[in-house]
Amino acid sequence: MSTKELTLVDLDVDVLYLILLTLHDVSRHSLFSMLRVNRTLHNVTLQVIYCSCLLDFSPAQKESTVARIESWFKTSSSILPFIRNITLKGSHQPNGDAVDPGKWSCIIQLLSRISRLASLTFDYPEQLPIDLLYALHIYHPSSHLHVRNWTRIAADSPFGDPAEEALANSPCLRSLHGHFITGDSPDADFREEAFNRIAELSPNLEAISRTSRTGGGCIGYFASPEEWRKRAQEAKKFAVETPRRKCVKSLELDSVNANRVTSFKCTRLTSDFFFLTSEDPAYRLTSLQVLDVELGNPLVTAFCIFLTSCGPLESLSIVLESSQPWGPILSPILLHHASSIRTLSFHQVESPPTRSMRKCLSLEELSAICQACPELSNLALDIDRTVEKEEESIYYAMLSRFSHLCELTIHMDIGLSHPSPYPRVDEKFALDVWEELSQHPKDGSGMQLRKLVLYIGEQDRRIGRGHPASWVLDEQWRRQWVKVRRNERDDRSREVEVTASRDWQADIRAAMRAQNRALNSNPISNAKDWVTSIFGS
């Protein structure tokens, strides 16, 4: 039986498009030969050729580039609808050409006639024109703007440049790159301050690259103390009081001011990092307020040294490798950060029966925290359950002495190493814990708890590749959470609201009982409904 050989013409248009995209990445010039094959390939190839356009505005190429764009306007139906990405590039300009007000008019007109622009890359050695930025906002508000080799009108330009403020607040800006040559001029230089302001204010920035190198020769420039004072005052104007939160995915720096870091979270640190930031004054995190780390046994000593050099901390969250005692870490925390700490979280992941048990804070350690941390308002810790519930009650009595505690999170074990599984908790269990915590001491120094969170089992355990072990699947099946919150109304402050995770086991058992009754009455017609109710449609 003979099989028909497929040709390019026989392929689906989407498949052709993917093939031509691959050819575009390897050899774009080869695509122009595909334009002459037939009408189908011509139409598909044209989309690929003009999908990404590189427009060179260097002095030698400017006229030909403008003529090229004007030719597109004359054949708009065959080119403009396919343009998705535009890159504007050029070489260093003489000063006279850099101030040409009509240089970008053809680009603004092009933006107004393109239907679906995805990205605009500005890789040109001058400041991004504000008119070009406004045109992008008007015609393509959802497009992505990438600025390469960012620069200012002048290095010593004062604070308040409208073009810089517009770029800093642009919702289109996705990446910002700047490379500065320093030390080659006696004038003031505010490029780094202006760059940092844009990066801190930009709402959707994803990639930041700020590098520099020292230029000039053997002659040094020195300013008077008065001049340095004026420059420092002007530099302060660029500071941002509250930077906008964003998801930065790429960060490239050749220098960083560690003294300005206020929040730090990392799950994989090394002892070299802790020693460097504690021993080298240039890397000390003296302004650090929020710290969230995961630690293994080899890092404990280095981390304790690090705690003596940073801070004072207001929030500290530690996930410690199981079976490690908390005492060595707790000592520097209480010695150097007790007066400032407001949020504390100590957690060890529950281990399966074949591994060592996790260690919870002892009553003595919990008492030390209560006495040393007067401002503590948010606490998270581990408490392992017992059959008689006597040990938990002792912990609850100690916790009730925290006078300023407003939110408490307790990580309870699910009983992986216990011979018989613990029963599931319910709303009554959470309310009983709430009541025990609310039994204030006789002197009236007890806490005014507003929120209690009970986590039963690991809610977000990391697992490796391959099929999960049986105990992991068992934990995923049995883990729970229950939250108790005090009513926010002043006239109903004694009332509480309880929410809990769904009891899937109970849901399935109830569904099976109901469907069994239905199947007994009409087994054939109800079989499909039974399967759907259990496993979904």
SS (H, E, C) 474-486: HHHHHCEEEEEEE
> Which residues does residue 354 pair with via DSSP β-bridges, in sequence order?
none
Place of tokens 């390469």: 148
Taken as a whole, the chain contains a residue count of 537
pTM: 0.55
- Whether 492 has a pLDDT exceeding 70, the answer reads yes
DSSP 224-267: -HHHHHHHHHHHHTT--SSPPP----EEEES---GGG--EEEES
Tokens for 484? 């108790």
- Whether 397 has a pLDDT exceeding 50, the answer reads yes
Please indicate whether residue 377 or residue 355 has the higher confidence score (pLDDT): 377
What pLDDT was estimated at residue 46?
Answer: 72
Place of tokens 């590189």: 54
What pLDDT was estimated at residue 93?
Answer: 59
At 493-522, the pLDDT tens digits run 788 899 988 665 565 566 666 666 666 665
Q: Could you tell me which residues come within 8 angstroms of residue 288 by beta carbon, excluding any fewer than 6 positions away?
A: 261, 262, 263, 264, 310, 311, 313
d(C-alpha 65, C-alpha 496), whole Å: 70
Place of tokens 């072990």: 469
Q: Which of 464, 372, 341, 471 lies closest to 413 in space, CA to CA?
A: 471
106: number of Cβ within 10 Å: 19
What pLDDT was estimated at residue 146?
Answer: 96
Asked whether the bond before 312 is cis by omega within 30 degrees of 0, the reply is yes
Q: Rounded to 5 degrees, what angle do the CA atoms 162, 256, 149 make?
A: 45
d(C-alpha 110, C-alpha 82), whole Å: 13
d(C-alpha 428, C-alpha 426), whole Å: 5
At 232-265, the pLDDT tens digits run 899 899 988 888 888 888 877 766 666 777 778 7
